[in-house]
Structure 1
Amino acid sequence: MALRDSDPVEVGGYRIEDRLGSGGMGVVYLARSASGRRLAIKVVHGQYADDDEFRARFRREVSAARQVSGAFTAPVVDADADASRPWMATLYIPGADLGTHVREHGPLSAPRLRELAAGLAEALRDIHRAGVVHRDLKPANVMLAEDGPRVIDFGISRAAEFAAADVLTQTGRVMGTPPFMSPEQFSSPQDVGPAADVFSLGSVLAYAATRRGPFDSPSPYETAVRVVEGEPALDGVPDELLPFVRLCLEKHPKSRVTADELLTLLRDGGPAA
């Protein structure tokens, strides 16, 4: 995307080279460090700079991303949550996100779906071991890097041990992307834990296999009802992947597999009878 006249020349001392994308909360730029390393810099929109709750949320995003930076995420290089427009720089990951790839090239093949499932299960395992719940796993937050998928954007994540006391989730807001949210994110958001990410993983895999979410509806309200009460539409999901997706999409959190268990099942060839 071409730079605009209103875009900064540099952020935090990093030279801006291009726009990578823009969303409701901010703009992501391609930048370069003094040594020539390419970075993705997320700069929040100016209207949120005076919002104390937003700044707290952004600080949490930076903290969560730093905790889980590793082989399955985009490592944080630098950040400033106190800048006039808060920003965070991560290593740039070449490649498209899963949503863009599926829209442009269609559903993934069965072997690639299995690789995606294993890669995302590994990513969630590491995220959960760090004590973090992502809460917004969706195709747009999965980058298809050459060495496997990377999970990005920890904007609404939170520490699992502080779930019940998190004031940012006690404002009555439903936070997430409805087609890829878990039932508990709608019905009891203060009780959301690692199992919610596993449910989202099942929806992401179904999307990658069929080019549609298992609970899609033109109405966000109807989508929410389907997530909480309805059966997932899994026509088109390859038979070999279907048992894994169903295990992820169990309605009750305690009935779902963990990321570790999913990895074991994928490695061993399938769920036990």
Structure 2
Amino acid sequence: MTGPGGPAPQRPAPPPGLDPLTGQDPVHLGGHRLLGRISDTGNGVVYGAVDVNRRCAALRTLPTRDRVTLDRRVEALCLSAAVCAAPVHTVDLSGPVPWIAMEYVPGRDLDTHVRSFGPLEGAHLTGAAAGTAEALGALHTAGTVHGDLAPDRVLLSPRGPRVVGAGLADETLAAAGAAGWSAPETAHGGAPGPGADVFSWACAVVLAATGRGPFGRGTVQEIHERALHGRFDLRGVPEWMAPLVAKSLHPDPRARPGAHALARALLPRGATSALPEALGALLAEHWRGFDAAGHDPVLWSMAPERATRRRPGRGIRWGRTGS
């Protein structure tokens, strides 16, 4: 393709683990070089990026329909702090394309791992369940929800489980979430609350422990009916863990436990330190055998610089709430 200034520059192939950028994708955003695509959620594109300090990031573009709500959600996400959630690096909501850059988490998602290697067992299952609950609890304490938790939003990294894609889902899309993962109160357009996250957490735990969802197969309507009436199958979930999962799948969100209470209940009895420290100790002792699945961010920082440079970003910036 040739433009007014001559042939268009060829974009280098992305590092392993990333899909190529399209012709519509930017090359730089803020102080980040965009090296390739991680995913396109339909609610914003997630890019693999490197910032001016050579930190690798998952940079996500955000919807612009309601900047007031977006400001509130991103601020809550920045305030939340969890062992098992990717921290925020940089935010810019002021431009025509708002974005947020978070620490990149290498590894397989829960669904891919279970399909490839089978269900989690023992301390791996406990760590994944407790870590996911801890990350959700941090969001709830900060005043927001994940709103779109599904097995592909739980990554099993070499350092522990990590919850990604948090707090920024369009409520309309989140409420219509996949059958078998979304809470019954959101099935007809209700906005997800903390209880909906807990319900989705329980579905993910059942998948991690058994390789299947708790409501079996069938049409969307059949699965929603089972969820609405509490007809779930927990066979294969460890006996000691099953009561926690069952309570979390209760059709009434008011009857479900809180996420932090779940995380604490899953940790070894007798653990007296604060939740982050106790969870960190569990993962440090038992989390072994999870690799980066070929998604090596070290290769990102070694990727060749493109010819075009832009002025680096200025860290976290809170943009205008108007259009």
| TM-score band, normalised by shorter chain | 0.7 to 0.9
Number of the residue aligned with 1:205: 205
Q: Give the letter aligned to residue 100 of structure 1.
A: T
Structure 1: give runs of 5+ residues left out of the alignment. 158-167
Q: CA deviation at 1:113?
A: 1.0
- Separation in structure 2 between the aligned mates of residue 141 and residue 116 of structure 1, nearest angstrom: 12
| Equivalent pair of 2:74/2:168 in contact (CA under 8 Å) | no
Q: Match for 2:83: what amino acid?
A: A
Q: Structure 1 pair 220/56, CA: closer, same or farther in 2 (3 Å)? A: farther
Q: Give aligned-pair identity as a percent.
A: 37
Q: Provide the residue aligned with 1:220 in structure 2.
A: 220
Q: Determine the structure 2 residue equivalent to 1:88.
A: 100
1:180-259 matched pairs, under 5 angstroms: 180-186=181-187, 189=190, 192-259=192-259
| 1:42 aligned counterpart, secondary structure | strand
Shift in Å at residue 205 of structure 1?
0.1
Do residues 28 (structure 1) and 36 (structure 2) align? no
Looking at structure 2, the residues matched to 57 and 83 of structure 1 have their Cα atoms a distance apart, in angstroms, of: 16
Work out the CA distance in 1 between the residues paired with 2:189 and 2:41: 27
SS in 2 for 1:132: coil
The structure showing larger relative contact order (alpha-carbon pairs under 8 Å, at least 6 residues apart) is 2
* Structure-1 residue corresponding to 2:178: 177
Is 1:69–1:76's contact at 8 Å kept on the other side of the alignment? no
Go from structure 1 to structure 2 and tell me whether the alpha carbon gap of 1:88 and 1:172 turns closer, same or farther (over 3 Å shift).
Answer: closer
Displacement of 1:184: 2.2
Equivalent positions of 1:1-273 (< 5 A) are: 1-6=18-23, 7-44=25-62, 52-53=65-66, 55=67, 58-156=70-168, 174-186=175-187, 189=190, 192-267=192-267
Amino acid at match of 2:146: H
- DSSP 3-state at the match of 1:176: coil
Decide whether the 8 Å contact of 1:27 with 1:43 is kept in 2: yes
CA contact (8 A) 1:81 1:87 kept: yes
Q: Is the 8 A contact 1:61 1:154 kept in 2?
A: no
Distance 1:90 1:217 in 2: 35
Change (3 A) 1:260 1:23: closer
Q: Is this contact kept in 1: 2:58–2:103, CA < 8 A?
A: yes
Q: What are the superposed Cα offsets for residues 59-88 of structure 1, whole Å, 9 maximum, x if unpaired?
A: 444233212144321112222234333321
Residue identity opposite 1:90 in structure 2: M
Q: In structure 1, how many angstroms separate the alpha carbons of the residues matched to 2:179 and 2:37?
A: 27
Contact 2:175–2:188, Cα closer than 8 Å, also in 1: no
User: Residue 99 of structure 1: CA displacement?
Assistant: 2.1
Tell me the distance in 2 between the aligned counterparts of 1:122 and 1:69: 10
| Deviation sequence 1:205-238 (CA, Å, 0-9, x none) | 0011122211244432332222112411222223
Q: Is the 8 A contact 1:8 1:16 kept in 2?
A: yes
Please identify the structure whose Cα radius of gyration is greater: 2
**1:111 is matched by which residue type in structure 2?**
A
Distance (whole Å) between structure 1 residues aligned to residue 253 and residue 125 of structure 2: 24
1:48-68 Cα deviation digits (max 9, x unpaired): 65xx24x55544442332121
CA distance in 2, matches of 1:173, 1:133: 11
Code of the residue aligned with 1:235 in structure 2: it is R
SS at match of 2:34: strand
Deviation per CA, 1:147-170, whole angstroms, max 9, x where unpaired? 32222213456xxxxxxxxxx86x
Residue 204 (structure 1) shift: 0.8
Change (3 A) 1:218 1:156: farther
Identify if the C-alpha distance between structure 1 residues 221 and 61 changes in structure 2 by more than 3 Å, giving closer, same or farther.
Answer: farther
Offset, 1:260 = 3.3
> Greater share of helix residues, 1 or 2?
1
Closer, same or farther in 2 for the Cα pair 1:174/1:122, shift >3 Å?
A: closer
Equivalent AA in structure 1 for residue 91 of structure 2: A
Structure 2: 5+ residue stretches without partners: 1-17, 270-323
C-alpha RMSD over aligned residues: 2.8
Taking structure 2 as the reference length, what is the TM-score of the superposition? Answer: 0.68
User: Once structures 1 and 2 are overlaid, which stretch shifts more, 56-65 or 140-149?
Assistant: 56-65
